[in-house]
Structure 1
Amino acid sequence: MKRIALFPGSFDPFTKGHQDIVQRGLKLFDEIVIGIGNNANKKRYFPIEVIKAHIQSSFSPEDNVKVITYDDLTARIAREVGATFLLRGLRNTTDFEYENGISQVNRFVYEEIETVFLITSPHLAPISSSIIRDLHRYGQNVDEFLPYSLSNSVV
C-alpha cells in the first residue's frame, strides 16, 4: 500500500522550513501532497495561485510531490487524495499545543488518518510565514528564507 501524506497549510508564503519538512518527509512517505488550504480566519497576503506556482517549481524534479489548493476540511481532503497521514512541522511547544488539538479533530472526521510531526531543523526554526509577510510588506528582501524568489512578486 502506497504511503501518502497530506502536508496542509496556508503557506502564505511557503518557506525553507516548509520545504525542509517535505524533503525529510519524503524519506518516510511514498508521496506527499502539499495542500494549500483556505483558512477562513486568515486573509491571504500572497495570491494562492502565485504561491502554488512557486511551490510546484521548487519541487519540479520530484514526481512524488504534488501541490493542490482546497477549501474544505483538511481531513476530508486527505481522504479524497488517498492520504492516510497528515504531515506537520513543529517549531516549538506552542506549535505542538495548537497542532495537537487539530490532530484530534482530524481523527474525529477521518478515523484512519494519523498525524506525523517532524521537528523543524534548528537553523530554520525562527522562520515563520507571518514574520516573512511583515518583512516583505515593508520592503525587506526575504528571498533567503524561501526556496524561490519573491523579489518581483507584487501583492
Structure 2
Amino acid sequence: MKIAVYPGSFDPITKGHLDIIERGAKIFDKLIVAVLVNVDKNGLFDYAERVNLIKKATMYLDNVEVECFRGLLVDFMKEKHSNVILKGLRAMSDFEYEFQMALMNKNLNSEIETFFMMTNAEYSFLSSSAVKQVAKFGGCIDGLVPESIKSIVVEKIQEGDVKHV
C-alpha cells in the first residue's frame, strides 16, 4: 500500500488544499493530511478545530485520514509507514522553500521522497492567510474555502478569536 502524507498548518483549509487532497487521493492508496503543531505560531483555529474542519471537508474521500502531529515530519511518517511527502506548489517562491525542506527531510531519512504537485491555476493566488484577511474585512470567501466549512470560518473570524497554540 502506497501511503502519502500531506503536511501543513491548514489554518483554515482552502479550496487549493482540497484540490491537492483530492488529486493526491487518486494517486495514492491512502493520504494522511497531517496538521503540524507549530508552537511558534498563533492560529485562528486550534489544532482540534483544524482537524475537524479538514475531516468535514474531506468526508467523501474514503482513503483520506486526518491527524495532528508534533515534532519531525520524518518521525511521523515512519510511525505511519509512509515514505512519500505530498506538497502543493503555487509559484516558484513556494518551490524554493519546499525544495529546501525536501532536501532536509531526505537528509534526515534517505527513504523519504517528496512529490510536488502544482496547484490548479484557479487557486494559484490562494492561501489561508489571504482567506483570513478577506474574511476579516467582510469580503466574500465563496470559492476560497470548501462550502461545507465556509460558515464556520466566517463565524470564527467575526469572533476575532486568535488562539495562542
Greater shift in the superposed pair: 137-146 or 122-131: 137-146
Structure 1 unmatched runs, 5+: none
Partner-residue secondary structure (3-state), 1:116: strand
- Cα distance in 2 for partners of 1:38, 1:139 equals 29
Q: Which residue is equivalent to 1:151?
A: 154
Q: Compared with structure 1, are the counterparts of its residues 143 and 152 closer, same or farther at alpha carbon in structure 2 (3 Å cutoff)?
A: farther
The answer on 1:110 being equivalent to 2:113 is no
Q: Which residue is equivalent to 1:63?
A: 62
Greater shift in the superposed pair: 29-38 or 143-152: 143-152
Q: Is the 8 A contact 1:8 1:37 kept in 2?
A: yes
Q: Which residue is equivalent to 2:9?
A: 10
Q: Is the 8 A contact 1:143 1:151 kept in 2?
A: no
What's the RMSD between the two structures over aligned residues? 1.4
- Specify the code of the residue in structure 1 equivalent to 2:100: G
- The count of residues paired between Structure 1 and Structure 2 equals 154
- Specify the code of the residue in structure 2 equivalent to 1:16: K
Which has the larger helix fraction?
A: 2
1:88-127 alignment, distance < 5 Å: 88-127=87-126
Partner-residue secondary structure (3-state), 2:28: coil
- Cα distance in 1 for partners of 2:48, 2:20 equals 21
Q: Which residue is equivalent to 2:29?
A: 30
Structure 2 unmatched runs, 5+: none
Partner-residue secondary structure (3-state), 2:55: helix
- Cα distance in 2 for partners of 1:116, 1:152 equals 35
- Specify the code of the residue in structure 2 equivalent to 1:151: V
What's the offset of the Cα at 1:141? 4.1
What's the offset of the Cα at 1:102? 0.3
What's the offset of the Cα at 1:50? 1.5
Q: Is the 8 A contact 1:79 1:110 kept in 2?
A: no
Greater shift in the superposed pair: 136-145 or 2-11: 136-145
Q: TM-score, normalised by structure 2?
A: 0.87
What's the offset of the Cα at 1:98? 0.3
Q: Is the 8 A contact 1:86 1:113 kept in 2?
A: yes
What's the offset of the Cα at 1:51? 1.7
Q: Which residue is equivalent to 1:81?
A: 80
Identity %: 33
Partner-residue secondary structure (3-state), 2:107: helix
